[in-house]
Amino acid sequence: MQEEEIAPYSTEVGKTLWHFLTTLGKELFELGVYLTNEWQDNQSWRSLVEEVGDPWNFEMAIFPRKLAPFFQNVPAGFQGTVVEGGFGFAQANRFITLPWT
């Protein structure tokens, strides 16, 4: 079975996805908002709620400052930025240009 190669998001798509997440994040601020691949669905959320697993299972996310303790150790490959009331992170290799730049 051949492994599927996933191309990075274009600059335009990345900026559009960032806009969606920042807009949703203003309304869904309790646990944050996450862009995930199929295999990542709900894994970050479950790790926060159940306090088990890896909260870094996402391609891009915005979460409130109160969740910072869950995200203190930033894994290699992730880049972050500060947003109003919280933080944003993305897997750098999934974006041609980081979406918030």
Residue ranges per domain, the chain?
Answer: 11-94
Instruction: Specify the amino acid at residue 99.
Output: P
Q: Which of 15-19, 49-53, 75-79 has the lowest mean pLDDT?
A: 49-53
- Residues of the chain above pLDDT 90, percent: 50
Burial of 81 (0-12, 13-18, 19+ CB in 10 A): middle
> For the segment 80-90, what is each residue's pLDDT rounded down to a tens digit?
999 998 999 99
For residue 3, the model assigns a pLDDT of 56
Query: Residue 38 in contact with residue 6, Cβ under 8 Å?
Result: no
Three-state SS at 24? helix
What pLDDT digit, counting tens, does each position of 28-52 carry? 878 888 888 765 666 676 777 777 7
Token readout for 18 is 């960032």
Which phi and psi (to 5°) does residue 65 adopt? Answer: -55, -30
